[in-house]
Chains A and B, each alone.
Chain A
Amino acid sequence: MASVSEAKSLVLDRITHRFASGTMAVSDINLDVKGGEIIALLGPSGCGKTTLLRIIAGFIGQSEGRVIIGNDVVDALPPNRRAVGIVFQNYALFPHLSISENVGYGLAARGVDKATRAKEAQRLLDMVQLGPFGERLPRQLSGGQQQRVALARALAIKPSILLLDEPFAALDKNLRLDMQIEVKRLQRMAGTTTLIVTHDQEEALSMADRVAVLSHGHLEQFGTPSEIYDQPQTLFVNSFVGTANKMKGVVVATDASGAKVALEAGGEIIARAPKPVSASDKVTVCLRPEHLTFVTDDTGFAGEIGMALPLGATVVHEIKAKDGTSIKISQARTGGTPLREAGTPVRVAPLAPGLATVFPE
């Protein structure tokens, strides 16, 4: 991009919003986004992602808290004075305007003359690889093309913050991957601080510098993709991001690095404890399928093979633990990985002690 907009930071300070109907959509959200970062807002349906985005854009006035863009508290500014670009889930292109008029719309609102507008619109359309489509109407484009127009339209005003609400949800899988790469490329070029709303964890982990996981209007964890995946701070994050086997147990001892837990299924496991636990607490232990391995010594817990699923590059075994819990274990498929027969007694343990995580009930 010819001119790089100055990347501004975004701070959400104790944002809480209650709708008139009484729904508490977001509560006490603190987020500190550095200039130029891509942040993913990840969470299940109804957790308040769109509400948060609409608060930042200024469409909703939050009940409590402040939105700070750069050095300015923007709460008193209407949406048209915030310089926040937004791409809606349904794109919201103006159906009666041509593609090039859509892209030039924000410049027209800023009083830019027609010739400059047309030139700038053309430059942006070239950038999203839609150069020849300027004269068409939105409904004459495919979903993915409309999406790129919406992106070009939002970028045309050189926003200090770019918001994308589930931008890829309506696209099929291949196109989605292309667009994810495309958006990331454009974002890097423009250097715009960007928030992407998604409920697709792969999208969040692959695109974002940092991920904010939301549940029921609360911020569960805010960290880099590997922090979110490898060091989940809550049970929700551990089971929402990636897959997790959950086992019940009781803490027998604790030390600085974690806790030793006696599983209901028999056996003991040493697990990392992000939230403090103490001896004789009832806890849930989370074990990711790829962090488990079959052992021949007496560590871990015992069970028997329920089913073997050869899934291409990985092999997944489902194991019935002694208390009936179903546990999945996945392994890379190498020449030496035999499929195990149903009913075979096995012992399973984490690859390393830090890979199990324990959460208080």
Chain B
Amino acid sequence: MKSATTAPGDVTSFSLGLALPLGLAFAIFFVLPLAQLFYLSLHNDTAATVWGLGQYIKFLTDPFSLAVLGSTLLLGAEVTLACLVLGYPIAWLYQRSGSRVQTLIIMIVLLPLLTSVVVRTFAWIVILGRQGIINSVLQSLGLIGTPLRMIYTQGGLIAALAQVQMPLMVLPLITAIGRIDPNLSDASASLGAGSWRTFVKVMLPLSMPGIIAGCTLTYAAAITAFITQSLVGGGQMLFMPMYLYQQASTLQNWPFAAAISIIFLFAVLAIVALFSTLGRRARGYGDAR
């Protein structure tokens, strides 16, 4: 880095110099292992001695593996949608509340992040289980005869994941909505637009940066949430992180596990890229049409 030799006024080299520690950590603990993973995945045998694309071919031609990938990506989409639908009104409410209510909302939204993932996950098992809180309440009210199956279902898993990932959705949304000039909704109203029209034509497009950021974070977090997926999802549903873990840990098939990681990584990157392209198109800024 040239920061030591450049004049103090040079802002760019200053910030590059300051980014050095993080950059180094990033290189050592992220880029290096990733390269190693990639190297590993390019071998056809478990001992990693024969070069080849066999692991990738195996994954991409195996219906079971593809189904696991598909259901993982779908799970992410469902959790993201749930977070967006539930989180947007919360962020909206936050921007329209007094400071005391704002503090309360932030507390409630952040709470899941402040509890241990294991404790939180077992709490969901207690709530959703056969003899869990929801079932016993419904039974004692006489609304159901036999307990509902909620734990180890896709729905239960989505609820549990959505709760944990909610802050990742709500915080960017709060920022984005807060940046919108409050006069814009007044202007829209004075031009004759009702509140729904104002929301769809003005507020929604202008909060798109927050929606994209929130969706990207939530999506990435939901599909990689190993512990919640395994404990609340149970044995019947298999997702990529667990699949990967089984291949690496139980079956000791490291090259295949590495190939799964790389494929998973690119699938996620593709989806993230899709998000931002869609978002940019919907927003319409940046280029004069």
Contact = CB atoms under 8 A, between A and B. Distances in A.
A and B, one complex?
yes
Interface of A: 54, 57-59, 78-86, 88, 90, 92, 94-98, 105-106, 109-110, 135-137, 140, 153-154, 156-157
Nearest to B183: A92
A153 B191 contact: yes
List the 4 shortest-distance A-B pairs measured between CB atoms, nearest first.
Answer: A106-B191, A92-B183, A79-B189, A109-B193
Given A96-B205, A96-B206, A109 B288 contact: no
B149 interface: no
Per DSSP, are chain B's interface residues mostly helix, strand or loop, or mixed? helix
Nearest to A57: B190
A92 B186 contact: yes
B82 to A, nearest CB: 27
Interface in B252-289: 283-285, 288-289
A80 B193 contact: yes
13 contacts: A59-B190, A80-B191, A85-B190, A88-B183, A88-B186, A94-B188, A94-B201, A96-B205, A97-B284, A106-B192, A109-B188, A109-B192, A135-B288
A79 B186 CA distance: 8
Given A96-B206, A137-B285, A80 B192 contact: yes
Interface in B75-94: none
A95 B205 CA distance: 10
Given A90-B181, A96-B206, A105 B190 contact: no
B284 to A, nearest CB: 5
A221 to B, nearest CB: 29
Given A96-B284, A109-B191, A59 B186 contact: yes
A295 B285 CA distance: 69
Interface string B172-183: 000000000101
A105 B188 contact: yes
Given A96-B205, A109-B197, A137-B288, A80 B189 contact: yes
A156 B206 CA distance: 23
Interface of B: 181, 183-184, 186-194, 197, 201-202, 205-206, 283-285, 288-289
- With a 10 A CB-CB cut-off, give which of B183, B186, B190, B289 has the most chain A CB atoms: B190
B191 A157 contact: yes
Given A135-B288, A137-B288, A92 B184 contact: yes
Given A81-B192, A92-B183, A94-B202, 11 more contacts: A58-B190, A79-B190, A80-B192, A82-B190, A88-B187, A92-B184, A95-B285, A96-B205, A98-B289, A137-B288, A156-B191
Given A78-B189, A79-B190, A153-B191, A94 B184 contact: yes
A95 B288 CA distance: 11
B181 A92 contact: yes
B184 to A, nearest CB: 5
Contact of A105 (B191, B283, B284, B285): B191
B206 A95 contact: yes
Contacts of A153: 187, 191
A56 to B, nearest CB: 10
A109 B181 CA distance: 20
Given A78-B189, A96-B283, A106-B191, A136 B288 contact: yes
Nearest to A92: B183
Nearest to B284: A96
Given A92-B181, A92-B184, A95-B206, A86 B285 contact: no
A86 B190 contact: yes
Nearest to A87: B187
A315 B285 CA distance: 55
Contacts of B188: 94, 105, 109
Given A88-B183, A90-B183, A92-B184, A110 B190 contact: no
Contacts of B197: 109
B186 A105 contact: no
Contacts of B189: 58-59, 78-80
Contacts of A57: 186, 190
A154 B187 CA distance: 9
Contacts of B190: 57-59, 79-80, 82, 84-86, 154
A88 B189 CA distance: 13
B281 to A, nearest CB: 12
B187 A86 contact: yes
A84 B190 CA distance: 6
Contacts of B183: 88, 90, 92
Contacts of B284: 96-97
B211 to A, nearest CB: 13
Contacts of B288: 98, 135-137, 140
B54 to A, nearest CB: 49
B279 to A, nearest CB: 12
Among A80, A81, A110, chain B packs the most CB atoms within 10 A around the CB of A80
B49 to A, nearest CB: 57
A83 B193 CA distance: 11
A80 B194 CA distance: 6
A80 B196 CA distance: 12
A153 B192 CA distance: 12
Nearest to A106: B191
Contacts of A78: 189
Contacts of B201: 94, 105
